[in-house]
Chains A and B, each alone.
Chain A
Amino acid sequence: MGKRRPASIFFTSVLLIVLYFTLFPYPLGKELVAKPAWAVAVIAGSSNNPQASPSVQGSSGQEAAVPEATAPGAFPFGLADSFGYVGPDGTLLSIGQRLFQVTLSRTGYINYARMGTDWIMRDPRGEQIASFSGNGYPLLSADGRRVLIVNSDLTGVQELDKNGDAEWSRDFPAILTSVSLQDDYLLVGLLDGTLQLLNKHGAPIYQAPPGQSRIPVTYGCAVAPDGSFIASVSGIDPQVLTVLGRNGSSYERTLRLRLPTDYRREVRMGFSPDSRYLFYEGADAVGLVEPDAGRLLPITLPGWLAGSAFLGESRVAAFAARDGQRVNLRLVSPFLAPVSSESFPAGDLFLGDIDGQLLLGVDGRLVRVDVEAL
């Protein structure tokens, strides 16, 4: 009798486990596969598209726009010194060469020189939309509706209205180390370790004090597009990831994670367009956080994080890290299953979204990679 009892416990346990997984199956999701749809060469001042019209020289003498009448969408890319817009079918709408830097948005861009106070904003085809003046460098929001000027000392920001006049301006008590700009919010991280969240009129919404690290410096910051969460990587000894969730008119800490990193430079971080996920750069890894659910998924990714993109309402997240002369690429379905893992030699790199799919730029070529469920 004494020997039969463990056997019954074993079989009962197995039965319960089988029953549990039958009644409460773990959602593994559909199998996802990634396959290239098209590839185009990107060389500033020329087009590989045989159907495209001849290049049109921009007024600055640097941009070359290629008008394409039937393009249903325009997706920005920046690859080494080249930038431009591509349609979902691979049609190059425009290609240009950076003067000093270029700030890109879905609806237009500003290509600006190292010195200067006057800029021209152009649409994806290279046509002039507006001109602005100001002291500093311009920064566009993702949708191109917000134009900020960050002063050259990194101590202040002003937002311009449609007429190019200053709508508001604000100085900060220490130099800016990072910013996160959304349609309705601007989050700035400062050298003194504080965060300041401003609304679209420049009014302060929330200020997060410096953390308890030995030296409080903000190394990265991100605000969710809907303003539901703000996050930062900050501090030396320890370096800390902090996520704050909106609670009424204020924000409360929802996550504080001591990191093993010791960055002394800006780190990449950001939220998915649907505000659901946060990613942050780690040591040979990317951290993926779902703040609402309190979940964290570390993704091994050797090298420095060099690009990121969320595709198709966060169905897939893409991350690429540079590791010497190679690039490591990970496609993951957040908190479900890894989709793809690739490693290839590359000099220049770009990751972006194109119609819910991955726009991958590598060494002068753009590739659309479709991620599909089988």
Chain B
Amino acid sequence: MMRLHCALRAVPALLALLLAAVPFAHGLDWPVDRKIIIGTFGEDKGSHFFDGLDLGGGQQEVRAVLPGELVFRYDEAEDYSSIPRGLGSCVVLHHEGKIETISSNLKKGSLGPVRAAYAAGETVGLSGDTGSSDGIHLHFSLYDEETASFLNPLSLLPPAAGTQMPVIKTVLLSAGDTATPLDNGATVPAGKAQIIAQAYDLRQDLRFLWPLGLYAVRLDLDGKEVARMVFDSLQVTDGQLRLGGIKLTHDKVYTSDGLLSCGTVELRPGTSHLTLSVRDFAGNETTKEISFTVRE
């Protein structure tokens, strides 16, 4: 029930996201030509959520997605920094509607001359591997000043093609210190338990496994929605970055092993039916249904 209340509280955040999208309604375009998504918003980064989108595709020009004004830049080759910058060389543009785009991990020395105005489509630099990076890519983030939120770029950019279905590999039932696989026909003890899943999306361009984050997760027990998570925004409350709407912190969404904490269920004796649905950013949805027995 608590998760349901949380899901209801997500409505204002979703509205805010839609409002934030209004200035982009015409003209927001991808920052690169080769749209190879290699990291998605809200993914597990060990101790925190990923706040943007990683785009691979080798070295390529990174463009302004909207007309904007340069408000901050850092070039790993030359600029002073008081902090270790995991974002590497980066460019921050301020756009109409109090939106900022942050293009990071750019190639050292590829940032253009310092100037204030950028037209949509103008090059801000080249994708690179500066900062905390193990390969050439662009880290692209969208920040909404009005709501002080990081927004999921994939919610606002033109749709990305995606034909691969997301995967639910395993579903686990966790109570106390133990986690056991939850399969059809299983018998489990009654009481409160957490549903944990190894679930992910797949990269479109690869045949081997490169897991990506999901867009939405929904958990139903005996036909009733128990929990819903939508990875559309991140916002800080009480000094912790939380998933927009339901306000869950990173450690509530992911286990220390990087598995997805889908929600908490109250199991009562008898036969139960659990449905876990996951959706990717292209709208592909995978559902896993599990019938099991709850003993006294």
Residues 168 to 214 of chain A near chain B (Cβ within 8 Å): 169-180, 191-192, 204
CB contact between A175 and one of B50, B80, B87, B240 (< 8 Å): that residue? B87
CB contact between A153 and one of B51, B79, B145 (< 8 Å): that residue? B51
CB contact between B83 and one of A135, A178, A192, A264 (< 8 Å): that residue? A178
CB contact between B82 and one of A179, A217, A236 (< 8 Å): that residue? A179
- Chain B residues within 8 Å of A154, by CB: 83, 85-87
The A-B contact count (CB < 8 A) is: 125
The answer to whether B82 touches A264 (Cβ under 8 A) is: no
How near does chain A come to B163, taking the closest CB pair, in angstroms? 30
- Chain A residues within 8 Å of B141, by CB: 153, 175
- Chain A residues within 8 Å of B132, by CB: 114-115, 136-137, 152
The answer to whether A266 touches B48 (Cβ under 8 A) is: no
The answer to whether B236 touches A172 (Cβ under 8 A) is: yes
Which chain A residue lies CB-closest to B129? A114
- Chain B residues within 8 Å of A266, by CB: 74, 79-82
The answer to whether B74 touches A138 (Cβ under 8 A) is: no
Known: A156-B241, A174-B148, A215-B71. A135 touches B45 (CB 8 A): yes
How near does chain B come to A164, taking the closest CB pair, in angstroms? 14
- Chain A residues within 8 Å of B74, by CB: 265-266
Residues 346 to 371 of chain A near chain B (Cβ within 8 Å): none
Q: How far is the CA of A145 from the CA of B148 in the complex (A)?
A: 33
Let me know if B94 is at the binding interface, CB within 8 A: yes
Let me know if B214 is at the binding interface, CB within 8 A: no
CB contact between B84 and one of A117, A138, A156 (< 8 Å): that residue? A138
Q: How far is the CA of A334 from the CA of B239 in the complex (A)?
A: 39
CB contact between A264 and one of B45, B102, B114, B143 (< 8 Å): that residue? B114
Known: A150-B83, A152-B86, A204-B239. A175 touches B46 (CB 8 A): no
The answer to whether B82 touches A151 (Cβ under 8 A) is: no
Residues 120 to 150 of chain B near chain A (Cβ within 8 Å): 131-134, 141, 143, 145, 148, 150
Known: A153-B87, A180-B82. A174 touches B143 (CB 8 A): yes
How near does chain A come to B220, taking the closest CB pair, in angstroms? 31
- Chain A residues within 8 Å of B131, by CB: 114, 152
Q: How far is the CA of A267 from the CA of B74 in the complex (A)?
A: 11
- Chain A residues within 8 Å of B84, by CB: 101, 103, 136-139, 150
- Chain A residues within 8 Å of B83, by CB: 139, 150, 154, 176, 178-179
Question: Can you list, as one digit per residue, whether each of A243-254 has a CB less than 8 Å from chain B (1) or not (0)?
Answer: 000000000000
Which chain B residue lies CB-closest to A189? B82
Q: How far is the CA of A171 from the CA of B148 in the complex (A)?
A: 12
Let me know if A268 is at the binding interface, CB within 8 A: yes
- Chain A residues within 8 Å of B80, by CB: 265-268, 305-306
CB contact between A155 and one of B48, B70, B94 (< 8 Å): that residue? B48
Main SS of chain B's interface residues? Answer: loop
Which chain A residue lies CB-closest to B87? A154
The answer to whether B82 touches A171 (Cβ under 8 A) is: no
How near does chain B come to A200, taking the closest CB pair, in angstroms? 15
- Chain B residues within 8 Å of A150, by CB: 83-84, 86
Which chain B residue lies CB-closest to A135? B46
The answer to whether A114 touches B145 (Cβ under 8 A) is: no
CB contact between A156 and one of B48, B50, B79, B148 (< 8 Å): that residue? B48
- Chain B residues within 8 Å of A172, by CB: 236
The answer to whether B134 touches A191 (Cβ under 8 A) is: no
Known: A191-B92, A215-B69. A175 touches B81 (CB 8 A): no
- Chain A residues within 8 Å of B241, by CB: 155-156, 171
The answer to whether B235 touches A117 (Cβ under 8 A) is: no
- Chain A residues within 8 Å of B240, by CB: 169-171
Let me know if A91 is at the binding interface, CB within 8 A: no
Q: How far is the CA of A357 from the CA of B239 in the complex (A)?
A: 41
Q: How far is the CA of A101 from the CA of B63 in the complex (A)?
A: 29
Residues of chain A at the chain B interface (Cβ within 8 Å): 101, 103, 114-115, 117, 134-139, 150-156, 158, 169-180, 191-192, 204, 215, 217, 219-220, 236, 264-268, 305-306
Offer 11 A-B interface pairs, CB within 8 angstroms, sorted by A. A114-B132, A137-B86, A153-B141, A156-B47, A169-B47, A174-B143, A174-B148, A179-B82, A191-B71, A192-B148, A264-B71
Residues of chain B at the chain A interface (Cβ within 8 Å): 45-48, 50-52, 69-74, 79-87, 92, 94, 100, 102, 114, 116, 131-134, 141, 143, 145, 148, 150, 235-236, 239-241
Given contacts A153-B48, A192-B148, A219-B72, 9 further A-B contacts (CB under 8 A): A152-B132, A153-B52, A155-B51, A156-B47, A179-B82, A215-B69, A264-B70, A266-B81, A306-B80
A-B interface, 9 closest residue pairs, ranked by CB to CB distance from nearest = A152-B86, A137-B84, A152-B132, A135-B46, A171-B241, A173-B236, A173-B148, A135-B47, A170-B239
